[in-house]
Chains A and B, each alone.
Chain A
Amino acid sequence: MTSEEVRGRIRAHVRAHFPLARARDVGDEDSLLDAQVIDSLGILELVAYVEQAFAIAVGDDDLTAENFQSIAALARFVERRRSAP
């Protein structure tokens, strides 16, 4: 899977499951957290999605605003996990 594919799948998921992202036409670098697109329970859903969709484990220390700030940030996080041994 290329970087662009990872980002595209996350973008599609966010737009499908967080309707405000679609309504606001949130871009890849736009903040999901500050704009209240994703709330605390939404982050739980998003963790479950990336773990399942990309076969990665989201560890205890990964639950940070940096990793979930935007579609692009989450895609970068997923790629780091995928390339890690």
Chain B
Amino acid sequence: MTALLHTLLERAASRAPGRLALVDGARRVAYRDFAAAARRGAAVLRAHGLAAGDRVAVYLEKSCEESTAIFATSLAGGVIVPVNPLLRPRQVAHILADCGVHTLITTGRRHAELGGALDGLAALRRILLVDREASVADERLVPDAFAQPRAAAPAPPRHPHDLAAILYTSGSTGLPKGAMLSHAGLLAGSRIVCRYLGIRDSDRILSVLPFSFDYGLNQLLTAVEREATTVLLSFRFGNEIARAIHDQQATALAGVPGLWALLSDAAPAFRSQALPSLRYLTNSGGVVPLDTLARIRAAQPHADFILMYGFTEAFRSTYLPAAELDRRPTSIGKAIPETEVFLVDEHDRPCRPGEAGILVHDGPTIFLGYWGRAAETRAVLRPHPFRPAGAGHLVCYSGDRVRMDEDGFFYFVGRDDAMIKSAGYRISPTEVETVLLEAAAVREAAVIGLPHPVLGQAIRAFVAPRDPTAFDPDALLAFCAERMPRYMVPASVEVVEALPRTAHGKVDYPRLRERAA
């Protein structure tokens, strides 16, 4: 059988039809019904004219509907584009425009908030609402789109190397880019993680990370692959996570450093009571401070803690087996199964142990490139540096500086470029600066990331106002808050007369970093 994304769900539904697939608040969905909903969803998408390879964006909170849309899109032959529900209209519009989304699946309330941001999107043909709260007139709008079964011709066959999903991620410059993932790549990521985490059908995986994040999406795929249960949760208090683990008898939790800070500092129900159902915890998206790690482990000593490292373009590169954590708690581990990871210097020569170099990834989870960005793709997907030229064997350059110890374990060092990583998110300075520069009061603006104990990095904005006497930094931040999600809004503003520039007239970021240090 040719394996595609939805094959995972079809297989789980035929082998374990009655087993619990999804928990969403009070809702419980068995695999049989999950697959039936996905098939119904696929027919709706096809009836609304979705053709093979067309993009379907889903802009919803964590829910059964969001999970169903992922598999329905694959069944319909489409390409799923999960959009982080925290994004504001301008970021959503960028994604829909950039990859020419054909169908948007959302709620009536979210559609109303998007407002004029959806105007002028030529490729967007349908806005399918999962509820009936249509309040804004739009001829593309279909309220309650999934309520009635629709008849539609089956989807044309797709190939495992065809595009299955696009996940938007940021780099050191420009607006977010769409990382293109094939069915085969997503399935390899699921297979590999199932293997090294030993996921089994009795697992109940608590899913708090968004599906727009490869790590969050992978949790759902691994659960379906192993016929396990995914417990979907949106939370604001750390205690809500502890309560969900307790009430749902969750066995697994995946988080980013900020989540562990929350659970160790402000979730007494996590810190002060054993949650015996927990089998393992995993971290990705940044380095967990050692004191946070120690507090989490002390609170739940029976649970394995597995540190991992990855980047969207290659999904996951390394993991540290739990048995190694005491000996090397700052390591990101070794290569995941089926994968080779190595370090190169600026001349593409292999690094010696102890020497920091750029991490290069070679394996089945590598992405297909950035949607519509050939030059940027070539900068990341490159010929294997140690193989004969012309072999056509492409590997993925992370841009992250990493070193390896004598035993072959890797350690994250940092980055040479301006990319900011905050609260697990990659943030391009350009994207924040573009918004700052739209404010009438701003003449020049630049942002950098400063070390922050919880966030990894916090954003500092340097602003040269048009009129320094009338400039109000708080008003500028309020302006930003309307236009971007909270994790992108600068934590602080420093007023400058003019930005420092290099001899070529570019903003001198190293000088800004020195100034902030």
Contacts and interface: CB of A to CB of B under 8 A. Distances in A.
Interface of A: 15-16, 18-20, 22-24, 33, 36, 38-44, 47, 60-61, 63-65
Given A60-B272, A64-B237, A44 B265 contact: yes
Given A44-B266, A60-B268, A19 B474 contact: yes
B454 A20 contact: no
Contact of B258 (A20, A41, A64): A41
Contacts of B238: 40, 63
Contact of A41 (B423, B475, B489): B423
A65 B453 CA distance: 25
Given A20-B482, A23-B479, A40 B455 contact: no
Contacts of A43: 236-237, 266
17 contacts: A18-B481, A19-B480, A19-B489, A36-B486, A38-B236, A40-B235, A40-B236, A40-B237, A40-B238, A41-B455, A44-B261, A44-B265, A63-B239, A63-B267, A64-B237, A65-B236, A65-B237
Q: How large is the interface on B (under 10, 10 to 19, 20 to 34, 35 or more residues)?
A: 20 to 34
Interface majority SS on B: helix, strand, loop or mixed?
helix
A22 B477 CA distance: 9
B153 interface: no
B289 to A, nearest CB: 14
B237 A41 contact: no
B86 to A, nearest CB: 7
B262 interface: yes
Given A36-B486, A63-B237, A41 B480 contact: no
A19 B239 contact: no
A26 B237 CA distance: 21
A63 B481 contact: no
A19 B478 contact: yes
Contacts of B266: 43-44, 47, 63
Interface in B239-259: 239, 258
B268 A16 contact: no
A38 B261 CA distance: 16
A39 B239 CA distance: 14
B491 to A, nearest CB: 9
- Most B CB within 10 A of own CB, among A20, A24, A61: A20
A47 B262 CA distance: 12
Contacts of A36: 86, 486
A44 B237 CA distance: 9
